[in-house]
A and B are shown apart, each in its own frame.
Chain A
Amino acid sequence: MIIMDEDHLLMARVASGCSSAFNQIIKKYQQPLLNFVYRLVGDRHLAEEVAQEAFLRVYLSARRYRPETKFSTYLYQVARNVSLNALRHRKFVSFFHDPFAAVSASKVSLRQGEENSRQRIKEIVSQAIGNLPVSQRTALVLAKYDGLSVKEIALIMKTSLPAVKSLLHRARETLKKELAPLVHAAAGSERNLQPGECVSMVEEENDY
Chain B
Amino acid sequence: MITDRQLWDYLDQVETLAPAEDFTLQFWQRLELRKRKRAVAWKLAPVMVVFFLVIYFHFLYWLNPADRDQEKKITLGQVREELLIEESISRLGLPDIASQVLTPEEILQTFVPEDILQHLPAVNKGGEWL
Contacts and interface: CB of A to CB of B under 8 A. Distances in A.
B10 A23 contact: no
Contacts of A47: 17
Interface string B9-53: 011011111111001101100110010000000000000000000
Contacts of A121: 10, 13
B11 to A, nearest CB: 5
Interface stretch (A70-78, A94-102, A174-182, A197-205): A174-182
A47 B23 CA distance: 12
Contact of B23 (A30, A44, A175, A179): A30
B56 interface: no
Nearest to B26: A52
- Chain B: interface secondary structure? helix
B14 A183 contact: no
Nearest to B33: A56
B55 interface: no
A179 B27 contact: no
Contacts of A64: none
A166 to B, nearest CB: 16
B8 interface: yes
A26 B6 contact: no
A183 B6 contact: yes
- Chain A: interface secondary structure? helix
A56 B27 contact: yes
Interface residues of A, number: 34
Nearest to A140: B11
Contacts of A30: 19, 23-24
Interface in A166-189: 172, 175-177, 179-180, 182-183
A35 interface: yes
Contacts of B34: 56, 60
Interface in A114-139: 118, 121-122, 125-126, 129
Contact of B24 (A26, A48, A175, A182): A26
A176 B14 contact: no
A48 B20 contact: yes
4 closest residue pairs by CB, A with B:
A30-B19, A34-B19, A183-B2, A125-B10
Interface of A: 23, 26-27, 30-31, 34-35, 38-39, 44, 47-48, 51-52, 55-56, 59-60, 118, 121-122, 125-126, 129, 144-145, 172, 175-177, 179-180, 182-183
Given A48-B20, A183-B6, 17 more contacts: A23-B24, A26-B24, A31-B17, A31-B18, A35-B16, A39-B14, A51-B19, A52-B23, A52-B26, A56-B27, A59-B31, A60-B34, A121-B10, A122-B14, A122-B15, A125-B10, A125-B13
